C-alpha cells in the first residue's frame, strides 16, 4: 500500500499543470510540509541577538573580513555607506498615505533604513547610525497604525522594526526596546492575528505575492520577539508557516511565477528572507526550501531577462532589471552558483547582498544554462541567440492565465530584443489608483486589454477583447540550434469569436523570428495583429513589408501569409470601438505595427522579423509559412 501511495502522489504531481482545478489543488496539497506547534517551534529558538539573517554578532566580524579579502565587496560597501550617510541627513519618515490607500512607500523607506543603518553600526560602531535609526523607529512607533487595511504596509514595517530590534538589541536601552516591542505587538502582531484567526483580511489564503510578503514580514517580527512574546510569536509562526505553503507550491514544477518577473522579485524577497531568518533563529526552515520548484526559481528572472537587462514584463510589471539579493541565498542553499553569478553582474548593493554573498558561489564561473526555456504552469517560453552578448536576439512569449494575479488580457503576447534594441515591448502597468483598476473597470484600460499588447484581437468592440477567465497552454516546445519554437493554444481567450486559435513563435537559425497565427472561425472574423514599438516605422510601397529603425539598427518585418495582406501603423491608443476611460497613460513615443484581415474564416497569418545591421540587405530567401501542425 505504501508503494502504491507514493506512485499515486507522483502521478498527481506530474499531472498538476494540465489537471482540472480540483485535481490540481489536491496535487498541490500533497506537497505541503507538516508544521509543528508553536511551542515546538519556539523550543528551537536561539536565545541571543542578533539572530535574524545572521546567527550571531560574530557573523558581522566575519563579514568585515570577507569585505577586506574580496575585490568586489569594498565597492558594494562604499556604495552602501554613501546611502547610510545620506540617511543621516534625511528627515524622519512621516505617516503619509498620498493615494488614500497605501503607507507602503513609508514602510519600505523605514525598512531600507533599518537594514542600512543597522549594518553600518555593526560594521563601524559609529553611534550616529544607531541614533538616526532610533529617531526613525520612534517616529514610526508613534504612528496611529501601520495601515493594516493594506497589509503589505504593516508587514514591511514589522520587518523593519524586527531587524532594527534584533541587530542593535545590545545598543537599545530597556525603554527603547519596550517602545519597539509594543509597536510591533500592537500595530503588527494583533492585526495579523485577526487574519490568522479568521476575522481579518484573507491574505493568508492567497497564492500570490501578498501571502509571502505578509507572512514573511510578520513571521520575521515574531522571530525577533519570540522569547519575549512567546504566546503571540508561537501562534503567528505556526499559522504563517502553514499559510506560506499555499503560495510556495505555485513555484512547481520548475520555479516560474505567474505574476511575472517583477512580482517574482517581491514575492521571493520576502519568502527567502523568512526562510533565512528561520534558519538563523531556529536552525531550520522545516523543509520549506525543499518544496518542489523552489530550488529552481532563480532561473526564472535569468531567463525572463533579455540581453539589455530588460525583462519580459508581463503582469503589471516594469521592464527594469531584476536585482535580487535573494539570489545569493538561493545560490548557496540550492547549490545553484549561476544564481549568484547573475546577481553579481546586475547588483545595486543592499545590506543583504553583503550578508548573503559568498565568494565561492560568485566566483564559480558556472556554465551558462541552455539558451531556451519553457516554464510550465506559468506557460512562458524564452529564446535567445546567446548569453552575455548585448546584441543577442531575445524573444519572450507567453500563453498563461488571465485569472492570475496582476494579469492583463495578454495571452499570446511577446517581446523582442536584438542588436541592442527592444523592438517589440510590453507597455507595463498603468496607474494602480485609477478607478476600478483592480476591479470592474480593469478591462477598460488600454494597457490591460489585448489591443495594448503584441497579440491578436478578434472582432474589436467595447467588451473585453480576450476572455478574462481564459487560460492558454504551450502545447509544443522545441529547442534546437537551427530552430527553436513554442506553440500556444489560445482558443479559450477568443472562444466568443473562433473555434480554434493558435500562435507559434520560432527563432530561426538564432537570428530571425517567425510569428505565426492560425484562426479557424465558423463566422467571418475581423482579425487584428499588433506589435508595439518605440522605433521609427516605414512601410514598403505594397505594405507587405515594414522597416523599424533605431539608430543604425533595423528590424525588417515581412508578411509571409496570407498573400495580399498589408501592414499599417497606428498610435498606441484605444481602437475606435474600445473604451476610452480618462486618466490612463498616453503611451507617448510608441507606435503599433498592425495587420488587419477582414471577413476571415480560415486564417494563417505569418510575419517574419529579421534584425539587420547597418547596410545589411534583407534576406533573399524567405521561410515557408507551413501549418503549425508541421512545425
- Specify if 91 maps to a domain: yes
Q: Looking at the predicted structure, is the pLDDT value of residue 24 above 70?
A: no
- Specify if 31 maps to a domain: yes
Three-state DSSP at 332 gives: helix
Domain count along the chain: 2
Residue after which a domain boundary falls, among 221, 250, 279: 250
Q: Among candidates 451, 595, 598, which has minimal Cα distance to 515?
A: 595
Longest dimension (CA), the chain: 81
- Specify if 321 maps to a domain: no
Q: Rounded to an integer, what distance in angstroms lies between the CA atom of residue 44 and that of residue 21?
A: 38
pTM of the complete model: 0.93
- Specify if 171 maps to a domain: yes
- Specify if 290 maps to a domain: no
Task: Quote the domain boundaries for residue 385.
Answer: 373-616
Give the pLDDT confidence score for residue 15 in this predicted structure. 31
- Specify if 556 maps to a domain: yes
Q: Rounded to an integer, what distance in angstroms lies between the CA atom of residue 460 and that of residue 480?
A: 37
Cβ atoms of residues 469 and 402 within 8 Å: yes
- Specify if 152 maps to a domain: yes
Q: Rounded to an integer, what distance in angstroms lies between the CA atom of residue 264 and that of residue 276?
A: 17
CATH of the domain at 583: 2.70.98.70
Spatial neighbors of 319 by CB under 8 A, at least 6 apart, are 310, 311, 312, 313, 415, 422, 425, 426, 428
Pairing mode, strands 536-539 and 421-424: unpaired
Q: How confident is the model at residue 499 (pLDDT cuts 50, 70, 90)?
A: very high
Residue after which a domain boundary falls, among 197, 224, 250: 250
Three-state DSSP at 585 gives: coil
Say if residue 218 is in the same domain as residue 73. Answer: yes
Residue after which a domain boundary falls, among 201, 224, 250: 250
Q: Rounded to an integer, what distance in angstroms lies between the CA atom of residue 375 and that of residue 252?
A: 10
- Specify if 341 maps to a domain: no
Pairing mode, strands 591-612 and 512-533: antiparallel
For 105-118, how does the pLDDT look when each residue is reduced to its tens digit (9 = 90+)? Answer: 999 999 999 999 99
Q: Find the helix packing angle between 260-282 and 230-248, rounded to 10°.
A: 140
What does pLDDT average to over the chain? 94
For 455-486, how does the pLDDT look when each residue is reduced to its tens digit (9 = 90+)? Answer: 999 999 999 999 999 999 999 999 999 999 99
Give the pLDDT confidence score for residue 367 in this predicted structure. 76
Give the pLDDT confidence score for residue 366 in this predicted structure. 58
Amino acid at each position: 500500500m505504501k508503494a502504491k501511495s507514493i506512485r499515486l502522489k507522483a502521478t498527481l504531481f506530474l499531472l498538476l499543470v494540465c489537471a482540472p482545478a480540483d485535481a490540481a489543488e489536491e496535487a498541490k496539497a500533497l506537497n505541503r510540509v507538516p508544521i509543528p506547534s508553536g511551542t515546538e517551534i519556539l523550543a528551537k529558538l536561539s536565545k541571543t541577538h542578533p539572530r535574524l539573517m545572521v546567527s550571531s554578532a560574530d557573523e558581522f566580524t566575519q563579514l568585515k573580513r570577507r569585505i577586506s579579502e574580496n575585490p568586489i565587496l569594498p565597492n558594494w560597501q562604499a556604495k552602501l555607506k554613501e546611502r547610510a550617510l545620506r540617511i543621516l541627513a534625511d528627515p524622519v519618515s512621516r505617516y503619509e498615505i498620498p493615494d488614500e490607500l497605501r503607507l507602503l512607500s513609508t514602510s519600505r523607506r523605514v525598512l531600507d533604513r533599518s537594514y542600512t543603518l543597522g549594518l553600518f553600526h555593526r560594521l563601524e560602531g559609529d553611534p550616529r547610525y544607531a541614533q538616526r535609526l532610533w529617531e526613525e523607529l520612534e517616529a514610526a512607533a508613534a504612528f496611529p497604525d501601520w495601515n493594516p487595511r493594506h497589509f503589505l504596509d504593516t508587514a514591511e514595517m514589522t520587518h523593519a522594526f524586527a531587524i532594527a530590534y534584533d541587530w542593535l538589541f545590545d545598543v537599545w536601552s530597556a525603554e527603547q526596546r519596550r517602545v519597539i516591542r509594543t509597536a510591533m505587538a500592537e500595530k503588527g502582531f494583533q492585526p495579523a492575528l485577526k487574519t490568522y484567526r479568521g476575522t481579518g483580511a484573507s491574505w493568508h489564503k492567497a497564492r500570490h505575492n501578498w501571502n509571502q510578503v505578509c507572512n514573511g514580514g510578520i513571521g520575521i517580527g515574531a522571530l525577533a520577539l519570540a522569547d519575549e512574546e512567546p504566546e503571540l510569536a508561537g501562534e503567528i509562526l505556526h499559522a504563517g508557516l502553514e499559510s506560506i505553503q499555499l503560495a510556495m507550491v505555485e513555484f512547481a514544477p520548475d520555479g516560474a511565477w505567474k505574476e511575472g518577473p517583477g512580482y517574482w522579485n517581491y514575492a521571493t524577497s520576502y519568502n527567502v528572507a523568512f526562510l533565512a531568518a528561520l534558519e538563523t533563529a531556529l536552525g531550520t526552515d522545516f523543509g520549506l526550501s525543499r518544496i518542489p520548484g523552489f530550488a529552481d526559481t532563480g532561473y526564472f528572472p535569468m531567463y525572463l531577462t533579455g540581453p539589455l537587462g530588460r525583462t519580459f514584463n508581463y503582469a503589471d510589471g516594469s521592464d527594469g532589471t531584476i536585482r535580487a539579493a535573494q539570489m545569493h541565498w538561493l545560490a548557496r542553499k540550492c547549490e545553484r552558483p549561476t544564481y549568484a553569478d547573475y546577481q553579481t553582474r546586475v547588483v545595486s548593493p543592499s545590506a543583504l547582498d553583503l550578508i548573503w554573498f559568498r565568494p565561492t558561489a560568485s566566483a564559480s564561473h558556472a556554465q551558462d544554462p541552455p539558451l531556451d526555456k519553457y516554464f510550465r504552469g506559468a506557460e512562458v517560453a524564452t529564446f535567445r541567440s546567446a548569453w552575455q552578448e548585448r546584441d543577442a536576439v531575445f524573444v519572450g512569449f507567453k500563453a498563461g492565465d488571465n485569472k492570475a494575479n496582476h494579469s492583463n488580457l495578454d495571452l499570446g503576447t511577446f517581446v523582442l530584443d536584438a542588436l541592442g534594441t527592444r523592438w517589440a515591448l510590453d507597455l507595463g502597468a498603468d496607474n494602480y489608483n485609477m478607478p476600478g483598476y483592480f476591479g470592474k473597470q480593469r478591462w477598460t484600460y488600454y494597457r490591460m486589454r489585448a489591443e495594448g499588447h503584441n497579440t491578436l484581437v478578434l472582432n474589436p468592440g467595447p467588451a473585453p477583447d480576450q476572455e478574462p477567465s481564459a487560460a492558454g497552454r504551450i502545447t509544443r516546445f522545441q529547442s534546437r540550434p537551427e530552430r527553436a519554437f513554442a506553440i500556444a493554444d489560445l482558443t479559450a481567450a477568443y472562444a466568443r469569436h473562433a473555434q480554434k486559435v493558435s500562435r507559434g513563435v520560432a527563432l530561426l537559425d538564432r537570428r530571425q523570428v517567425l510569428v505565426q497565427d492560425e484562426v479557424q472561425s465558423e463566422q467571418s472574423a475581423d482579425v487584428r495583429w499588433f506589435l508595439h514599438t518605440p522605433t521609427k516605422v516605414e512601410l514598403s510601397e505594397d505594405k507587405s513589408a515594414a522597416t523599424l529603425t533605431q539608430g543604425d539598427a533595423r528590424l525588417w518585418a515581412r508578411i509571409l501569409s496570407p498573400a495580399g495582406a498589408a501592414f499599417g501603423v497606428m498610435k498606441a491608443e484605444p481602437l475606435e470601438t474600445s473604451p476610452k476611460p480618462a486618466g490612463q497613460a498616453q503611451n507617448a513615443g510608441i507606435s503599433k505595427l498592425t495587420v488587419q484581415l477582414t471577413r476571415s474564416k480560415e486564417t494563417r497569418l505569418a510575419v517574419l522579423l529579421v534584425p539587420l545591421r547597418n547596410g545589411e540587405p534583407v534576406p533573399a530567401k524567405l521561410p515557408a509559412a507551413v501549418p503549425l501542425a508541421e512545425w
